[in-house]
Chain A
Amino acid sequence: MNKILRSLLASVLLLAACGGNKPAATENVDVKDAKELYGCNVINVYNAGEYIGENVLSDFENLYTAKVNYETFESNEMLYTKLLGGSSYDVLVPSDYTIERLLQENMLQKIDKAAITNIGNLNPDVVEMQKVFDPTLEYSVPYFWGTVGLVYNKNNVDPKVIEEQGWDILLNTDYAGKIFFYDSQRDAFMIAFKALGFSMNTDNENEILAATNWLKKMATTMDPAFVTDEVIDAMANGEKDIAIMYSGDAAYVLSENEDMAWIEPSQGTNVWVDAMVIPANATCPGLANAFINYITDYDASYANSEEVGYTSVHKEVFEELSGAGGTYEGNPAYMPRVGYEKDEVFHHNEILKQELGHNWNQVKNSINN
């Protein structure tokens, strides 16, 4: 809720800011005219909620004399559903596996590499991961990246125990009633597959059955609270002892509550990259490319990453924020694990998605019967 309220408040403030000082912020910057350059001056941007810095959009609008219609989604699935419904956007920021799917379905157009002058700023490690879903690197430009792990309260959970058990701590009844479980079939099955030593992209029926049983055991013996974004504020307030979280949200929680610690289990986890893409039916691709380039610039990258806590794909911004004196200095969740052999990028598989979705409902149906 806090998130929703905050974003509402932010958009109100943003509106107020747009109305108030249009020409003021343009003192020593070379203002461009989007209409003249690209023939259009409005772009529709669809991004995840709580994923952008404070003045990033209004600065872009001032710089290009343009208007950004900014909408947010809660999940990649919601984004895809919205696209199916015929909504038209100029820039989307989906995750790796959704980009893979959009590419398979010919729903994206190539990025104009000549317009992305800031492309050299990208962290080479992230570009390696990008090749998994966009092999030719022609269709996407990374936005944030990270992993999935566990946030725990150091005072109530022994770091040695959680290091040793990893994901299996979610079956340890010493912590029954004290865990937040992420309510998403993708993350739930990733955890079960990894805990059992399988690949998170497996389609082996026996392995799926074993993972489903692992999750059922967790659901019936651990009294977990199934949550999504509300876990961020709940963990910052220390409501429970262990929570599954995305690294960027964990970085925020760790910076708010010093009792909290972060671990990426040794059984391996999901490494993910969210990237900007331009849909095939974009109405203003020229300005969309300019927007992507603008986001990849140092200032915008810095503002975004500092504000939301997700790891920047911009190598200098990452070094600045995680280095000495940086906002996230010494915050392990801001520095996700790179190059670990058991970590994987998620792949889209429509048939598997249906099956795991059904199994996930089965898992939740096994409680409170």
Chain B
Amino acid sequence: MKGFNRLIYPYIVWAIIMIILPMLMIVLYAFTVKGNDVLTFQFTLENFVRFFKDPIFPGVLWRSLKVAFITTAICILLGYPCAYIFAKMKPNNQAVMVLLVTLPMWINVLVRTYAWRGLLSYVELSSEVRVYVGMVYNFLPFMILQVYTALSKIDPALITAAHDLGANDTNTFLKVILPLSLSGVVSGITLVFLPAVSSFFIPKFLGGGQYLLIGNLIEDYFIQTGDWNFGSAISLIMAIIILISMYIMRKLDREPKEAEVN
């Protein structure tokens, strides 16, 4: 059976060429000045200084975080009750509901966003509302599925036990179900918040291009302005933010489990 381990080699090669190498190049570009030769590099921190000195960029960063944060909050508010209702249904109906949630994801996000653009053109909405409609629509399934999985893994005996010990429905939910489902919420947040910070397509198309987000800036510096070094610096800052967020998420995820053991 050990021979199967070798099957991982193609993936390693793939990862090196498609993930590691480009990331190293971004780091290299971010710390060098423009117009470098292939062989001589001139290192600098100028790109990062520029980012934090210019009032545009922290503003853009703040806007990106805000859009991602609000999207995630709405996804939790809508997704949790949804998942809760699903988890209480008969198994057959659960399967149908999960299918209905997954179904739109079979279609490419680009196509779906264009469809929303057409739909929303019939109603008078501010560009802000349009953006959030599109963002929540796109990310909600990830939240529902994560929470639903956590909820359906809860042993029904625990709920019966809570009732037997005199807890009413509210207390059972707050003290048993909610804590046990938090890991689902946390992984839901990971799947919604992180891609939402870097999303730029949905805000661009539904918000009439009025939302200058960090993803738009990166695109702009690579393609329009042609300043790859500065674009790389922004990408690197973005990557660091995502890493920090992931670290926080993992900590949050671990805590309830430790409590469980205790």
| Stretch of A129-137, A164-172, A356-364 lying at the B interface | A356-364
| Complex CA–CA separation, A184 to B223 (angstroms) | 12
Which residue in B211, B224, B226 is a CB contact (below 8 Å) of A185? B224
In the complex, what residue of chain B is closest to A85 when comparing beta carbons?
B228
Q: Say yes or no: is B102 at the interface (Cβ < 8 Å to chain A).
A: no
Give bound CA distance, A238 to B211, whole Å: 23
A80 within 8 A of B: yes
Secondary structure class of chain B's binding surface, majority of residues = helix
CB pair B227–A354 under 8 Å, yes or no, is yes
Bound Cα distance A369, B62 (Å) = 9
**In the complex, chain A residues 314-354 whose Cβ is within 8 Å of any chain B Cβ:** 353-354
CB-based contact B223/A77 at 8 Å: yes
Closest to A74 in B: B223
Q: Does B110 contact A (CB under 8 A)?
A: yes
In the assembled complex, the CB of A88 is this many whole angstroms from the nearest CB of chain B, namely 17
Shortest Cβ distance from residue B103 to the other chain A in the assembled complex, whole angstroms: 21
CB neighbours of A21 from chain B (8 A): none
B128 touches A226 (CB 8 A): no
Indicate whether A224 sits within 8 Å of B208 (C-beta atoms), given known contacts A357-B225, A369-B59.
yes
A354: B residues at CB distance < 8 A:
225, 227
Q: Does B220 contact A (CB under 8 A)?
A: yes
Residue pair B220, A369 in contact (C-beta under 8 Å): no
Which of B54, B114, B121, B224 contacts A357 (CB under 8 A)?
B224
Known contacts: A364-B210, A365-B60, A369-B63. The answer to whether A78 contacts B225 by CB under 8 A is no
- The CA of A223 and the CA of B124, in the complex, are separated in Å by 13
Task: State whether A361 touches B226 (Cβ < 8 A).
Answer: no
Residues of A within 8 A of B220 (CB): 357, 361
Contact of B222 among A81, A183, A219 (CB under 8 A): A81
Please give, as numbers and ranges, the residues of chain B lying within 8 Å of A225 by CB-CB distance: 127, 208-210
Complex alpha-carbon distance, A1 and B205, angstroms = 11
Q: Is there contact, CB below 8 Å, between B209 and A361?
A: no
| Closest chain A CB from B37 CB (angstroms) | 13
In the assembled complex, the Cα of A75 lies from the Cα of B223 at a distance in Å of: 9
**Complex CA distance for A223 and B110, rounded to whole angstroms:** 24
A206 contacts B by Cβ under 8 Å? no
Q: Enumerate A51-105 residues with CB–CB distance to B below 8 Å.
A: 75, 77-78, 80-81, 84
B27 within 8 A of A: no
Question: Closest A-chain residue to B113, C-beta based?
Answer: A1
Q: Which of B60, B128, B209, B226 contacts A183 (CB 8 A)?
A: B209
From known contacts A226-B209, A353-B225, infer whether A1 and B60 are also in contact, taking CB-CB under 8 Å.
Answer: no
Bound complex: CA A354 to CA B110 (Å): 30
* Option from B111, B209, B217 in Cβ contact (under 8 Å) with A227: B209
Complexed CA–CA distance, A279 and B228 (Å): 23
Interface residues on B, range: 20 to 34
B56 located at the interface, meaning its Cβ lies under 8 Å from any Cβ of chain A in the complex = yes
Partner of A368, one of B63, B205, B227: B63
Determine whether the beta carbon of B210 is less than 8 Å from that of A368: yes
A239 in the interface (beta carbon within 8 A):
yes
B210: chain A residues at CB < 8 Å are 219, 223-226, 364, 367-368
Nearest-neighbour CB distance to chain B for A73, whole angstroms, equals: 10
Task: Tell me which residues from 115 to 163 in chain B have a Cβ below 8 Å from any Cβ of chain A.
Answer: 121, 127-128
How many A-B residue pairs have C-beta atoms within 8 angstroms? Tell me.
67
B246 lies within 8 A of chain A by Cβ: no
Q: What residue of chain B has the Cβ atom nearest to residue A359's Cβ?
A: B56
Q: Within 8 Å CB of A365, what residues of B? A: 56, 59-60, 212
Question: Cα distance A54–B110 when bound, in Å?
Answer: 26
Q: Determine whether the beta carbon of B226 is less than 8 Å from that of A80.
A: yes
- The answer to whether B224 touches A226, judged by C-beta atoms less than 8 angstroms apart, is no
Whether A77 pairs with B224 at a CB distance below 8 angstroms is yes
| Residue numbers in A under 8 Å from B227 (CB-CB) | 354
The minimal Cβ–Cβ distance linking B131 to chain A, given in whole angstroms, is: 9
Cβ–Cβ < 8 Å partners of A81 in chain B: 222-223, 226
CB distance from A72 to the nearest CB of B (A): 15
Complex Cα–Cα for A365 and B220 (A): 13
Asked if A227 and B223 sit within 8 Å, CB to CB, the answer is no
- Bound CA–CA A364/B204 (angstroms): 12
Query: Looking across the interface, which residue of chain A has its beta carbon closest to that of B110?
Result: A1
Question: Which residue from chain B places its CB closest to the CB of A227 in the assembled complex?
Answer: B209
A1 contacts B128, C-beta separation under 8 Å: no
In the bound complex, CA of A219 to CA of B128 (Å): 15
B59 touches A364 (CB 8 A): no
Report the Cα distance A225→B205, complex, angstroms: 9
* Chain A residues whose C-beta falls within 8 Å of the C-beta of B222 in the assembled complex: 81
| B-chain residues with CB within 8 Å of residue A369 when the two chains form the complex | 59, 63
Please report the C-alpha to C-alpha distance between residue A367 and residue B127 in the assembled complex, in whole angstroms: 11
Nearest CB to that of A225 among chain B residues? B208
- Asked whether, in the complex, the Cβ of B209 is within 8 Å of the Cβ of A364, the reply is yes
Report the bound CA distance from A369 to B217 in whole Å. 16
Q: How far is the CA of A240 from the CA of B73 in the complex (A)?
A: 33
What is the distance, in angstroms, from A71's C-beta to the closest C-beta of chain B? 15
Q: Decide: A226 near B59, CB < 8 A? Known: A1-B114, A80-B226, A361-B220.
A: no
Bound form: Cα–Cα A183–B207 in Å: 13
Q: Which residue, of A1, A358, A361, has the highest number of chain B Cβ atoms within 10 A?
A: A361
Instruction: Name the distance in Å between B87's Cβ and chain A's nearest Cβ.
Output: 37
- What is the CB-to-nearest-CB distance from B135 to chain A, in angstroms, rounded to a whole number? 14
| Apart from the given pairs A77-B226, A224-B208, A226-B210, 15 other A-B contacts in the complex at a CB distance below 8 Å | A1-B114, A77-B224, A81-B226, A84-B226, A223-B127, A353-B225, A354-B227, A361-B212, A361-B220, A362-B56, A364-B210, A367-B210, A367-B212, A368-B128, A368-B211
Supply 9 A–B pairs (Cβ within 8 Å), ascending by A: A1-B114, A78-B223, A84-B226, A223-B210, A226-B208, A353-B226, A357-B225, A365-B59, A368-B127
- The 8 closest A-B CB pairs, nearest first, are A226-B209, A225-B208, A357-B225, A364-B212, A1-B114, A365-B56, A77-B224, A367-B210
